[in-house]
Amino acid sequence: MTLDPVLSRLDSDLSAATNRLFDLLRIPSVSTDPAYKADCDAAADWLVADLQSLGVDASKRPTAGHPMVVGHVEGDGPHLLFYGHYDVQPVDPLDLWDRDPFDPALEETDQGTVIRGRGSSDDKGQLMTFVEACRAWTAEHGSLPCRITFLFEGEEESGSPSLVPFLEENAEELTADIALICDTGLFESKVPAITTMLRGLLGEDFTITGPSRDLHSGMYGGLAMNPIRVLSNILAGLQDDTGRITLPGFYDGVPELSDAIRAQWQGLNFDHETFLGDVGLKEPAGEQDRTPLEQIWSRPTCDVNGIWGGYTGDGFKTVLPSEASAKLSFRLVGTQDPDAIRKSFRTYLESKLPDGFTVDYRTEKGSAASQMSVENPAFEKALNALSDEWPDKAAYIGCGGSIPIAGYFKELLGMDSMLIGFGRDDDQIHSPNEKYNMESFHKGMRSWARILDALTT
């Protein structure tokens, strides 16, 4: 099976591929809103029919929530699992959209032609880049070049409540040699990349209570301890003057970068001053002995996401509040243990409480970080294939956020994931006027065709 005719077909079939994507984008598959349940079913049905048109043994699988779409193609060579999600974010506020979010269209911008519509980048457009690569391959050669399992989820945007049970119940069917996930983007909107590091996430939501009621600051101020003062001191003590997090044992399991990855990241010439300047900031706030890319990709964090207490309305109500509350999040890397960090944080917090003070916690289970082994030859083959398609040489990168599916594949199915996507920083995912550049859609399809060729020859 040769690659060139597949690439040529992708070029000649671009208009038809775009129309197929538009058909999927018109389905308002908003997973978080029960009013769109039938639309999520319709999107799953559409994908089943489209896969079946390629000769894929595809079906809609029920879950406690929205259905999964699973498809299989038998073949020789490696077994690949491709994952994407067909659900989308709500469109609110609707008045900020320039057009109907579910009436997709091509628009000309100063960055070229873009596909405008909810889900165009996250994740329907990305998902369809792989499907279209498979379509072209099948059209040219009559079959796909290897064994492929397709898994399309309908609850990614609502926390994936059905995903773990589905993976556990169908582990034997879904386990492959490696997973391919198309839900990421180009580095700085131009460099093709394979994301190999994803930070984990741990949240703490708590309330400190001191006096039994709000107190008059004239009668009690100076004598009574103020819970906001206690909370402020606790939060201020979580990091030292160099940006290092002070919790005992916090850095257990935090790895150092390899020399090869560090050099590759340095070669990306990341402009942190522009990155921060775009949001009105100047100075990096993380560990001072780490580069900016390390701070957002490979180092753990502790951030205050919300803090409240006392009277916050107009004017003044001169009270010492009974309570003060905060929400914290920790981004985790390497083999950091969320449970151990939670225990360390709570021990620290409780050691700072004055006598008579109590704390109430409201938290959810944390998730560990995911780190892929690039020693697997498939990674280097895919990296070279991406470099062949794009003007810039492809790179291994990290991701400051968390994509739990990669961790689930590792934990439950025992396989690494290659996260390869073609989104851009300005795609406005989760926001009004979401878009996906036609170049990303077109070259994304061609990239997957090249990767399939590289992994099977």
pLDDT digits (tens, 9 = 90+) for 235-259: 999 999 999 999 999 999 999 999 9
What DSSP assignment string belongs to 184-203?
Answer: -B-BTTTB-EEEEEE-EEEE
A 10 A CB-CB count for 352 gives: 14
> Over 90: is that where the pLDDT of 76 sits?
yes
Q: Going by C-beta distance under 8 Å and a sequence separation of 6 or more, which residues neighbour residue 321?
A: 214, 226, 227, 228, 309, 310, 311
Contact 323, 348 (CB under 8 A): no
pLDDT digits (tens, 9 = 90+) for 362-405: 987 888 899 898 999 999 999 999 999 999 999 999 998 878 89
Residues 308-319 have a mean pLDDT of: 94
- Single pTM value for the model: 0.89
Q: Which residue has the higher pLDDT, 116 or 368?
A: 116
Q: Report the pLDDT value the prediction gives residue 32, as an integer from 0 to 100.
A: 96
Exposed (0-12), middle (13-18) or buried (19+): which is 66, by Cβ within 10 Å?
A: buried
Whole-angstrom Cα distance, residue 350 to residue 234? 9
Whole-angstrom Cα distance, residue 437 to residue 112? 7
Q: Scan for tokens 């040219």, then name that residue.
A: 140
* Percentage of the chain modeled with pLDDT above 90: 95
Q: Report the pLDDT value the prediction gives residue 364, as an integer from 0 to 100.
A: 77
Mean pLDDT, the chain, integer: 96
Q: Going by C-beta distance under 8 Å and a sequence separation of 6 or more, which residues neighbour residue 400?
A: 199, 296, 297, 331
Q: Report the pLDDT value the prediction gives residue 400, as an integer from 0 to 100.
A: 86
Residues 136-151 have a mean pLDDT of: 97
> Over 90: is that where the pLDDT of 414 sits?
yes
What sign for the dihedral angle of Cα 425, 409, 396, 9? negative
Sheet holding 323-332, edge to edge: 301-309, 323-332, 200-209, 358-361
What's the farthest any 2 CA atoms get from each other in the chain?
85
Whole-angstrom Cα distance, residue 444 to residue 386? 9
| Residue ranges covered by each domain of the chain | 4-198+369-455, 200-254+300-361
What DSSP assignment string belongs to 58-101?
Answer: EEEE--SSSPEEEEEE--SS-EEEEEEE--B----SGGG-SS-T
For residue 331, the cross-strand partners are 201, 301
H or E element: which one contains 208?
strand 200-209
Whole-angstrom Cα distance, residue 436 to residue 122? 9
Domain 4-198+369-455 has CATH 3.30.300.30: no
Contact 213, 453 (CB under 8 A): no
Residues 60-65 have a mean pLDDT of: 98
Model confidence at 231, in pLDDT bands (50, 70, 90)?
A: very high
What sign for the dihedral angle of Cα 369, 375, 381, 386? positive
A 10 A CB-CB count for 242 gives: 9
Whole-angstrom Cα distance, residue 271 to residue 283? 12
Q: What's 200-254+300-361's CATH class?
A: alpha beta
* Percentage of the chain modeled with pLDDT above 70: 100
> Over 90: is that where the pLDDT of 112 sits?
yes
Q: Report the pLDDT value the prediction gives residue 127, as an integer from 0 to 100.
A: 98
SS3 of residue 378 by DSSP: helix
Q: Report the pLDDT value the prediction gives residue 5, as an integer from 0 to 100.
A: 98
Q: Report the pLDDT value the prediction gives residue 1, as an integer from 0 to 100.
A: 73
pLDDT digits (tens, 9 = 90+) for 250-291: 999 999 999 999 999 999 999 999 999 999 999 999 999 999
- Quick one: which of 261, 331, 322 has its CA closest to 296? 331
Q: Which residue has the higher pLDDT, 208 or 401?
A: 208
Distances (CA, A) of 167 to 53, 81, 128, 214, 429: 26, 12, 22, 49, 27
pLDDT digits (tens, 9 = 90+) for 154-168: 999 998 999 999 999
Whole-angstrom Cα distance, residue 133 to residue 7? 8
Exposed (0-12), middle (13-18) or buried (19+): which is 106, by Cβ within 10 Å?
A: exposed
- Quick one: which of 395, 443, 449 has its CA closest to 419? 395
> Over 90: is that where the pLDDT of 185 sits?
yes
Exposed (0-12), middle (13-18) or buried (19+): which is 15, by Cβ within 10 Å?
A: exposed
